[in-house]
Structure 1
Amino acid sequence: MTSISSKSGYGALDALRGLCVVAQTPFDAEGAVDLKSVDTLAEFYFKHGAAALTVLGVAGEAPKLTQDESLAVAERYIRAAQGRPIIVGVSNAGVAQLAELTAQVMDRGAAGVMIAPPGGLKTEEELFSYFAAVFKRIGDVPVVLQDFPFSTGTWMSVASMLTLIERHPQIRVIKEEDLPSITKITRLRAGTGRRVGILTGNNAMFLPLEMGRGIDGPMAGFSHPEMLSGVYELYTAGRVQEAHELFDTYLPLLSYENQSQWGVAVRKEILRRRGAIKSAVMRSPGPVLTPTDHAEIDFLLSRLDRALAARR
């Protein structure tokens, strides 16, 4: 298992290497937050190679939570992590709400927060003004800057991102999810300013190639996190071909999960089957899997079992 510094503050984010799982938010059968399943899910993620967790992200159904629920989920993950880094998604077009949640989770021991620009920013001036306002309010808090234009609707150029990094030393990590991610990673790494970590999402669909472009690990969710941590470990050990082969073994299931919120429903169902959470429910509005969907999951998991058996 990859390990990183368990210190809060800049130390934890500066040392961030390996798998940072984007954690799900468990709900019970009635759609209430299931904090007991937070405990079992955190244990599952760390058991399968996670070095850190990101909670309250897009895949964590954060927009469906109240402010009190968001704090409760973050606090429970921080407690369950037992000193390992927890990054909390706090993105919000309202700077006051963002700053309030940031202060609350940092006070409870989060290693840092993740912030994406809100939708509707059209110019560099608007982008820079937004983040200037954010950092003025949150102060000296370690930040992961999320670049996910297909979700936010706001596109950040490499030049703009490098400017933000130089203006705001609180930015310690980039989560790069623009496409093509590999070319943007290369251009970010070619920047001559302060080095920051780069983690990647997009359901880890391009992980081995992104490793080759110089990322520090995946920040992604997948029902089989042992693949993500395994690819990272193999690649960093110089076993590049083996890393690609392991990735390919899981690729049919990975791509099946890579279908926006419907894919999150699939992931939660598989996590339920693996004993990580009690219920696979997504909070409404959200998809509900059909018998045909369940049959396809059965098929893909059986194929995966055979492929893994052949590797042994």
Structure 2
Amino acid sequence: MKLTADAKGVFPIAPTPFFDDGAVDHASIDRMMDFYQACGSTGLTVLGQLGEAPKLDFAESLDIASQVIGKAGGMPVVVGVSAPGFASMRALSREVMDRGAAGVMIAPPNTLRTDDQIVNYYHQAVEAIGDDVPFVLQDYPLTFSVQMAPTVIRRIVTDLASCVMLKHEDWPGLEKISALRRFEAEGTMRHISILCGNNGLFLDYEMARGADGANTGYCFPDMLCDFVKWVGEGKIEAAHDLFDAHLPLLRYEQQPGVGLAVRKYVMMRRGILTSAAQRRPGSVLTAQAKTEVDHLLARLGKHDPRARNLV
């Protein structure tokens, strides 16, 4: 099943599990996939920015994507294929689509500066991978240093029919969501799915602005699933109460550089990952940082039982 512009819900960004020696932990991938399905995920993204994709060789990337697709049970899987050149992007895109991926995610290289450069890049990317491959446009200026105005996104969506989703990670970005939905209401841009990243840090109001859900890797994706579900059911205040309880940990995990270490540490404590290891180069939590995360989990456990009695 290919990704469409009607995608909604929560597409967690999966970390890549490693053993302490840097080898890929395939058993943890299976366990992680079981968890994502059980907690209500509607899709999944693998080999994203925090999936440590640049640290994998091509064979490893394809092997991991294939394992995830095989364990997805029909859940749509988006594969990150961003690469310095289009040859490797095309090769991975075609291979994962042949294996059953729903689509691919493409981030802009940090060399792009002008609007025309950004639009032309995505034209070339689609020419490389094929216009039959649905793609997610990743808009994350804080990491990629590429500023995409709403009008630039509209040009890409209008020019390229295979662009079916925006991974919205601008910050501040609420007005961008409103602008894009306004374009749709005016009839100047077709509808696309908007799922939000930034660790879900602003999801509480992004949904109110017209976002369709979350596409991020917070260590409690089950909370994100509950939040999106409750908003859809009109349980707005209950959803905000749950979100507010998680906000201190969300904020801590969003720290540049250390965020992935926090995420993997908590997922290890939740019994999802065998090890919190990152493949080198990677950050390691200090003893003091672990104490701080443990304190945040203890406080969260007063409001959400999922944070209690972790291993």
TM bracket (short chain): over 0.9
* Matching of residue 137 in structure 1 with residue 128 in structure 2: yes
Q: How does 1:197-236 map onto structure 2 within 5 Å?
A: 197-236=193-232
CA contact (8 A) 1:48 1:229 kept: yes
For residues 170 and 53 of structure 1, the distance between their equivalents in structure 2, rounded to whole angstroms, comes to 19
> Are the aligned partners of 2:6 and 2:192 in contact in 1 as well (CA < 8 Å)?
no
Contact 1:197–1:215 (CA<8 Å) still a contact in 2?
yes
Matches within 5 A, 1:130-209: 130-139=121-130, 140-191=132-183, 192-209=188-205
- 1:59–1:261 Cα contact (<8 Å) kept: no
The match for 1:30 among 10, 21, 25 is 21
CA distance in 2, matches of 1:20, 1:248: 21
State yes or no: 1:278 paired with 2:271.
no
SS at match of 1:27: coil
Contact conserved, 1:56 with 1:62, CA < 8 A, in 2? yes
User: What TM-score comes out, normalization by structure 1 length?
Assistant: 0.93
C-alpha displacement of 1:232: 0.4
Q: Is the 8 A contact 2:5 2:191 kept in 1?
A: no
Among 274, 298, 301, the residue aligned to 2:294: 298
Cα RMSD over matched residues? 1.1
CA apart distance, 1:307: 2.3
Distance 2:298 2:125 in 1: 47
User: Following TM superposition, where does structure 1 have runs of at least 4 consecutive aligned residues deviating by more than 3 angstroms?
Assistant: none
Unaligned runs of at least 5 residues, structure 1: 1-7
Unaligned runs of 5+ in 2: 306-311
Supply the distance in 1 between the matched residues of 2:271 and 2:84 (Cα, whole angstroms): 36
**3-state SS of 2:219 partner:** coil
Q: Secondary structure at the match of 2:231?
A: helix
The whole-number CA distance in structure 2 between the counterparts of 1:110 and 1:233 is 25
Q: Secondary structure, in 3 states, of the residue corresponding to 2:67?
A: helix
Distance 1:96 1:271 in 2: 34
Tell me the equivalent position of 1:49: 40
User: Residue 309 of structure 2 aligns with which residue?
Assistant: none
Task: Classify the secondary structure of the residue corresponding to 2:199.
Answer: helix
SS in 2 for 1:221: coil
Superimposed CA distance per residue, residues 14-63 of structure 1 (whole angstroms, 9 cap, x where no aligned partner): 33111110110000110111111111011112212211110111111111
Q: Is the 8 A contact 2:226 2:239 kept in 1?
A: yes
Query: Paired residues, what number?
Result: 300
Correspondence for 1:288 among 268, 280, 284: 284
Measured in 1, the distance between the counterparts of 2:49 and 2:256 equals 10
The one-letter code of the counterpart of 2:14 is A
Letter in 2 for 1:273: R
2-structure distance, mates of 1:265, 1:39: 20
The match for 1:81 among 65, 72, 83 is 72
Identity of aligned residues (%): 43
Deviation of 1:128 after TM superposition, in Å, equals 2.2
